Amino acid sequence: MEQRPLPRLGRQISVVGLGTWQLGADWGEVSQNDAHAVLAAAVQAGVTFFDTADVYGDGRSEQIIGTFLRDHPGLEVLVATKMGRRVPLDPHLYTLENFRAWTDRSRTNLGVDRLDLVQLHCPPPAVYSSDAVYDALDTLVDEQRVAGYGVSVETCEEALTAISRPGTASVQIILNPFRLKPLEQVLPAAAAAGVGTIARVPLASGLLTGRYSAETRFAENDHRTYNRNGEAFDQGETFSGVDFATGVAAAAAFAELAPAGATPAQTALRWIIQQPGLTSVIPGARNPEQARANAAAAALPPLTDETLDAVRDLYDSRIRAQVHHRW
């Protein structure tokens, strides 16, 4: 698997990583054994980067990763976690004292003295412009609680604000064939600054696999049921902010662009991988087969210019009006 640098951490991570939101909650149930099987399949396929958060299953995702890494000593996996959404979204709560408490909990859950990377988890926008917040994050590094810090953002504007700070090691943002705006400024700015970029929700919550129809129903405790209109958190996190009916129809057109030998999901991942300035893409796999198929996208040949143009046309004609001005 191709590894790409995170310059400000002095580490490399696989171009296809693994998102682990689904191993916590919000996507229906996943047993611990099944979760470990997903992690094992990803690692066997060359994945060296896991993305988690303290809030996924209220710590369950972190604990599952911690147990897995203890069961497999010596594995070279960089684990990025996130903090800041277990409290009300109040900018005054993003203090050094709270950062210490939040990272202590994640260190315990993951079973490590020092976190590889901690990301601010879509905090209120004012947090990205606060000198005190970056001073506190620098202190976490000085205290060896974390090797480095980054941000996970909703909007391109938030990403650009964070990239301008010298200590920001990474920026995580939604990027997929239904979310093209980060290509305009965020990826070029990050590349110029040496900031790593992490593409989340790469399959638009599964839409881009082309497997769903208008009749598809998700579990009650799956965010694709309860956050479809942004009822619980930012609407952009569910189906990339695309209305489900529009998304199903556009996904069918996207599936026709898949080259021979690649599934639509792999085509979406391949499209992301070849965007200049992209460090790693973190699809959320629900079973070992999905984890293996996603990792295999790294070895596929680049998409042709004709396919890239067709993806842009699809975005412009069917998706752009719904999402481009919002995130």
- Catalog residues that contact ligand NAP under the rule CB under 6 A: 19-22, 27, 51, 82, 121-122, 152, 172, 200-206, 209, 237, 265, 282-286, 290, 293-294
For the CB of residue 16, give the shortest distance to ligand NAP in the complex, in Å.
11
Q: Which is nearer to ligand NAP, 82 or 165 (CB)?
A: 82
Strand pairing report for 168-174 and 3-6: unpaired
In whole angstroms, how far apart are CA 24 and each of 59, 90, 98, 209, 221?
Answer: 7, 24, 23, 22, 12
For the CB of residue 156, give the shortest distance to ligand NAP in the complex, in Å.
15
Q: Which is nearer to ligand NAP, 209 or 267 (CB)?
A: 209
Strand pairing report for 117-121 and 3-6: unpaired
Would you give the DSSP letter of residue 195?
A: -
Would you give the DSSP letter of residue 318?
A: I
For the CB of residue 174, give the shortest distance to ligand NAP in the complex, in Å.
8
Q: Which is nearer to ligand NAP, 59 or 284 (CB)?
A: 284
Q: Which is nearer to ligand NAP, 29 or 97 (CB)?
A: 29
The 10 Å CB-count burial string (b at 16+, else e) for 76-99 is: ebbbbbbbbbbeeeebebbebebb
Q: Which is nearer to ligand NAP, 79 or 140 (CB)?
A: 79
State the sign of the Cα–Cα–Cα–Cα dihedral 308, 312, 313, 319. Answer: positive
Per the DSSP assignment, residues forming a β-bridge with 50 are 18, 79
For the CB of residue 236, give the shortest distance to ligand NAP in the complex, in Å.
9
Q: Which is nearer to ligand NAP, 195 or 203 (CB)?
A: 203
For the CB of residue 142, give the shortest distance to ligand NAP in the complex, in Å.
25
Number of C-beta neighbours around residue 167 at 10 A: 14
For the CB of residue 295, give the shortest distance to ligand NAP in the complex, in Å.
9
Strand pairing report for 3-6 and 11-14: antiparallel
Would you give the DSSP letter of residue 26?
A: S
